[in-house]
Amino acid sequence: EVQLVDSGGGLVKPGGSLRLSCAASGFTFSTYNMCWVRQAPGKGLEWVSTISTTSTYIYYADSVKGRFTISRDNAKNSLYLQLNSLRAEDTAVYFCAREGEFYASGNYYKGLDYWGQGTLVTVSS
Amino acid sequence: EIVMTQSPATLSVSPGERATLSCRASRSVTSNLVWYQQRPGQAPRLLIYGASTRATGIPARFSASGSGTEFTLTIRSLQSEDFTVYYCQQYNNWPITFGQGTRLEIK
């Protein structure tokens, strides 16, 4: 059974740092791109970052670029998100998600097919 | 950045009826469009990929269509568990962007 377990959230002061983790099991972690998506309280979904299988390609939303760092350890089946210089607007539930690849109608498509349960990050003084 | 606009923000439909949700992209995303369902307190669930293909385990009452900039998610014979929030997402261009969501409520 595919499982993603998010952890590491908590209360942090503005300007502080936090490291989120996502433990993966039930699939060959090293063969999937992974990403982080966040959701502010009562708001919609916001993509944060994506990392390719071997960490060769990394992408960030402009809202977190230069402050957040995504990484992975394929030997430990783990995904990470280092959050630095945190702001009140970073308060959200952070989900890790697996980027599935699907074949249909002669083409390959993507979608986030498995998600962690989310970990809450609260930035407040 | 491609802006995804979902309409309506809230849709009121009676159980057993059909709901039609729309998603519009600010420029073409070809068929690189995904739909998710999110129930309260839960992570999103993949419904549709490639604009029109149901993900594994998704009931046939869910269907979707569209390409380019206009997309539709249709849910027929609405069940109680279908009344929740739906998001579209494009991954044709970086950054990946989501629509703001449509809340489907019981009429």
Render pLDDT for B49-61 as a digit per residue (tens, 0 to 9).
999 999 999 999 9
So what's the pLDDT on residue B43?
98
Is pLDDT at B36 greater than 90 in this prediction? yes
Is pLDDT at A105 greater than 90 in this prediction? no
- With H, G, I as helix, E, B as strand and everything else as coil, classify residue A84: coil
Mean pLDDT of A88-103: 97
So what's the pLDDT on residue A99?
98
Is pLDDT at A81 greater than 90 in this prediction? yes
So what's the pLDDT on residue A23?
98
| Residue B8 CB contacts under 8 Å (≥ 6 apart), including other chains | B22, B102
Mean pLDDT of A96-111: 94
Q: What is the per-residue DSSP string for chain B?
A: -PPEEEE-SEEEE-TTS-EEEEEEESS--TT-EEEEEE-TTS--EEEEETTTEEPTT--TTEEEEEETTEEEEEE-S--GGG-SEEEEEE-SSSSPEE---EEEEE-
| A11-44 pLDDT, tens digit each | 999 999 999 999 999 999 999 999 999 999 999 9
Q: Which residue of A has its CA nearest to B54?
A: A104
B63 reaches A (C-beta below 8 A): no
Strands, DSSP E only, in chain A?
3-7, 10-12, 18-25, 33-39, 45-51, 58-60, 68-73, 78-83, 92-104, 107-115, 119-123
Nearest to B98 among A46, A60, A113 (CB): A46
- Taking contacts as CB-CB distances below 8 angstroms, the residues of chain A near B45 are 115
Arithmetic mean of pLDDT over chain B = 97
Q: How confident is the model at residue B4 (pLDDT cuts 50, 70, 90)?
A: very high
Is pLDDT at B92 greater than 90 in this prediction? yes
Q: Diameter of chain B by CA atoms? A: 38
User: Listing from the earlier edge strand, what are the strands of the sheet with A68-73?
Assistant: A3-7, A18-25, A78-83, A68-73
B98 reaches A (C-beta below 8 A): yes
Q: What would the two tokens of residue A61 be?
A: 């939303």
What's the rounded Cα separation, in Å, for the pair B9 and A10?
31
CB A49 within 8 A of CB A65: no
Q: What is the per-residue DSSP string for A2-28?
A: -EEEEE--EEE-TT--EEEEEEEESS-
So what's the pLDDT on residue A77?
98
| A40-78 pLDDT, tens digit each | 999 999 999 999 999 999 999 999 999 999 999 999 999
Q: What would the two tokens of residue B54 be?
A: 């149901």
| B60-90 pLDDT, tens digit each | 999 999 999 999 999 999 999 999 999 999 9
How far apart, in Å, do the first and last CA atoms of chain A sit?
A: 40
User: Is B96 close to A47, i.e. CB distance below 8 A?
Assistant: yes
| B10-28 pLDDT, tens digit each | 999 999 999 999 999 999 9
The CA distance from B92 to the nearest CA of chain A, in Å, is 10
Question: A83 pairs with which residues across the strands?
Answer: A18, A68
